[in-house]
Amino acid sequence: MGLQDEIMIAMKTAMKAKDQVALTALRAVKSAILLAQTESGAKSDLTEEQELKILQKLVKQRKDSAAIFEEQDRKDLAEPELSEAEVIEQFLPEALSEEEIEKVVVTTIESIGASGMKDMGKVMGIVSKELAGQADGKTISTLVKKNLM
């Protein structure tokens, strides 16, 4: 079953349960997927990698918004954003721990012979592709910098 089918089933469940937060988040996912499918030059079917990128982007947007609302002491606005992020995260693969991500980073650095910050782009590209959907770019970037110094 594809991501779109899973989203539709979850939307129906949220409608029956009258869960407005989940429904809002799921509609945002459906909308983002439809926009990606109808972009000029895009194929009608998205690859699993593209779907994961969309989901990650939506989660990141909500977490960033929540952080801004927290800074402005607007918990009433931050809570729904975090709740929506949790709903969307259900469709992402299980996230890896920082130790697991670091193992992949170290292995990649050793395998390509990276030495120093000039090779950060290469390492980031390989690790990001390998851990798509399982780790966010910020965590990967931090660990790559730490291990290349």
What is the pLDDT at residue 123? Answer: 86
**pLDDT at residue 42 tops 70:** no
Chain centroid offset of residue 36 CA:
15
- What pLDDT is attached to residue 32? 92
Q: Which helix (H) or strand (E) holds 147?
A: helix 137-148
Q: If you compute the radius of gyration of the chain from its CA atoms, what whole number of angstroms results?
A: 18
Q: How confident is the model at residue 1 (pLDDT cuts 50, 70, 90)?
A: low
* Predicted pLDDT of residue 102: 86
Sign of CA dihedral 38, 49, 3, 87: negative
Instruction: Report the pLDDT averaged over residues 52-67.
Output: 91
pLDDT at 40: 63
Position 56 confidence tier, pLDDT thresholds 50, 70, 90: confident
pLDDT score of 94: 82
Alpha carbons within 13 A on the beta-carbon side of 35: 7
- pTM score, whole prediction: 0.75
Q: What is residue 11's predicted lDDT score, i.e. its pLDDT?
A: 94
Q: In which element (H, E) is residue 66 found?
A: helix 48-71
Residue 109 has pLDDT above 80, yes or no: yes
Q: Residue 110: what pLDDT?
A: 85
